Amino acid sequence: MRAIGIPILSLMMLAGLTAGSPSCAEDAAKSCDVPAYLLTSDSPLSRVAAVIKAGGPLNVLVVGSRSSTIPGAEGDAYPARLEAALREKLPGVTVNVSADIAPRKTAEDIAPGLSKLAEEKKPTLVVWQTGTVDAIRSVDTDNFRGALDDGVAALQKAGADVVLMNMQYSPRTETMISPNAYIDNMRVVAQQHDIPLFDRFAIMHQWNESGEFDLFRAVHGVDLAKRVHNCLGRALSTFMIDTARINPGEIRIQR
């Protein structure tokens, strides 16, 4: 099986050697550290690059399920954090991030409406977060891949760059949900369309291993969720800028 987050396994030994007990992990600074290779992609984001160079407006649309929001604290979910991080890193560029959240919808449910959504909102970039509901319902992976294929093609046809985002790393449900086949298929579709894949699963796994966040433990309240989403938003902003081959320093000089 090309299994459990294979790419991140390479880091696990290192992480394993350095990770201490949970209590010491709590004290560690929340630096949102992510290995560089998870924050870049060889596939281009040409429209994003062009728009940023022109000074905006950079319209990002997040299409996702419930893990793209925090119930009761939408303003602290990663789409909003992404907007804040992008504005901070790209001064002088108009940035708008909006989110279209459809809970309990599989990729097959979402894909047919993407074309219309893109025409309405005219996004520069669509971040399509999907796979969780499909994995929960163990949707046939061929159908899943077909839906991704159609959805990405429709978005590209509508003139948007596309980033695929896979599911959260969720250690507590590991014995109940098997995300690997869906992660693999998302990677395949990303390769076929030459679009970047934001590997949320590997990144969160990395955070859990390094002790940045303890994702195993039961938590009351939304504090942990807010901090994780903040880091995800920052990571996604770095990923976008790096993949679009933008040097924020140069932009600042031009302005």
Partner 1 sequence: MTSVADQVIGAHAGAAAHGIARSTPAVSIPVAATERELRLDLFRGLALWLIFIDHLPPNILTWLTIRNYGFSDATEIFIFISGYTAAFVYGRALLDRGFVVAAARILKRVWQIYVAHVFLFTIFLAEISYVASSFENPLYSEEMGILDFLKQPDVTIVQALLLKFRPVNMDVLPLYIVLMLFLPPILWLMQRKADLTLALSVGLYALTWEFDLALPAYPNGVWYFNPFAWQLLFVFGAWCALGGAKRMSRILSSPVTLWICGAYLLFAFYVTLTWHVPQLNHFMPRIVERWMYPIDKTNLDVLRFAHFLALAALTVRFLPKDWPGLKSLWLRPLILCGQHSLEIFCIGVFLAFAGHFILAEVGGGAGIHFVVSLCGILIMSGAAWVFSWYKQVAGKGGSRTKSADGDADLAGGGA
Site for partner 1, rule CB under 8 A: 1-7, 9-10, 12-13, 15-17, 19-22, 37, 42, 65-67, 70-72, 103-104, 132-133, 136-142, 145, 168, 170-178, 181, 184-185, 187-188, 191-192, 208-209, 214-222, 224-225, 228
Q: Which is nearer to partner 1, 96 or 178 (CB)?
A: 178
User: Min. distance of Cβ 122 from partner 1 in angstroms?
Assistant: 28
Nearest-approach distance from CB 247 to partner 1, in angstroms: 21
Cis peptide before 91 (omega within 30 of 0): no
| Distance of closest approach, residue 192 Cβ to partner 1, in angstroms | 7
The residue (of 154 and 186) whose beta carbon lies closer to partner 1 is 186
Q: Are 87 and 95 in contact (CB under 8 A)?
A: yes
> For residues 57 and 103, which CB has a smaller minimum distance to partner 1 in the complex?
103
Name the minimum Å distance from CB 91 to partner 1: 31
Comparison of 155 and 190: residue with beta carbon closer to partner 1: 190
CB of 12 to partner 1, least distance (A): 6
**Closer residue to partner 1 in complex, CB, 161/212:** 212
Q: Which of 45, 72, 34 is nearest to 169 (CA)?
A: 34
Q: Which residue, among 145, 139, 141, has the nearest Cα to 192 in the 3D structure? A: 145
- Cβ 150 to partner 1, closest distance in Å? 17
CA angle 81, 82, 86 (to 5 degrees): 120
In the complex with partner 1, the residue whose CB is nearer, 37 or 91, is 37
What is the C-alpha to C-alpha distance for residues 43 and 172, in angstroms, rounded to an integer? 33
